[in-house]
Amino acid sequence: MQDIFYFLCRGICHQIPERSFIIGHQYLPLCARCTGIYIGVFISFLYLLLRKRWYGNRPPSFGLLCILLFSFFPLIWDGITSYLNIRQTNNTIRIITGVLSGSTWPIFILLIKNYNIYTNNTKPLIKNIFEYIHIISLGCIFSFIIINGYFLSWNILSILLTGSIYLLYVQLFIGILKQIFYQLENQQMKKVYVLAHMMALNWMIMLSFVQKWIIDFL
């Protein structure tokens, strides 16, 4: 089972041990930065689901949109400056900047999936900055638990992280397919959802094989 998690996560992550957290004497299948990203993804999806915003289709205000876009900057800055040896970083910074970035991904993905250019989009996806702060705060609390080794189950956390990757791809592919097959009836759209799940799983498997091929080639 653990080999499956490492394999499925390999397609998006370098899995360098010293840049990964240890849970139960074993490295997670994602590095600290990717762990933060998909914690943010998980918390954001869960928050929007519980707040009944899963089918929200109204874009955020311009000000909130700018804040969401700016949340990518700390991760980019940390990654570039550390790789260029301008400054030193650590796993705590990596996971927090990952949370800031990853928490915005579901908002944009669900907006792509639900937005309809042919009708009025009146269902809010995220209403204000305070809701976004709630999501980030929950992600940081989750990260604090991992950083300090309070999360005791490697398997549960690996399922959560891998499942978040899969769910993100599923929602993205549903959004793409809905734009292509927008004229389908609701009953026929069920086939689109099934296809999106198949595409997401195959995409993860393909990325993992490509990553392995690149590593073996180099």
* Domain ranges, ordered by start, for the chain: 2-217
Nearest to 74 by CA among 27, 136, 19: 136
Q: What is the pLDDT of residue 218?
A: 65
The end-to-end CA distance of the chain, in Å, is 28
Q: What is the pLDDT of residue 81?
A: 94
CA angle 28, 34, 35 (to 5 degrees): 50
Residue 186 in 3-state DSSP? helix
Widest distance between CA atoms in the chain: 55
- pLDDT means over runs of 10, the chain (218 residues): 91 92 93 97 97 93 93 95 91 97 96 86 92 96 93 93 97 89 72 92 94 78
DSSP secondary structure string for all residues of 110-142: HHHHH--TTS---SBS--SHHHHHHHHHHHHHH
Q: What is the pLDDT of residue 185?
A: 67
Nearest to 31 by CA among 161, 153, 150: 161
Residue 212 CB coordination number (10 Å): 13
Given phi > 0 = left and psi -120 to 50 = alpha, else beta, which region is 149?
Answer: left
CA angle 38, 26, 142 (to 5 degrees): 35
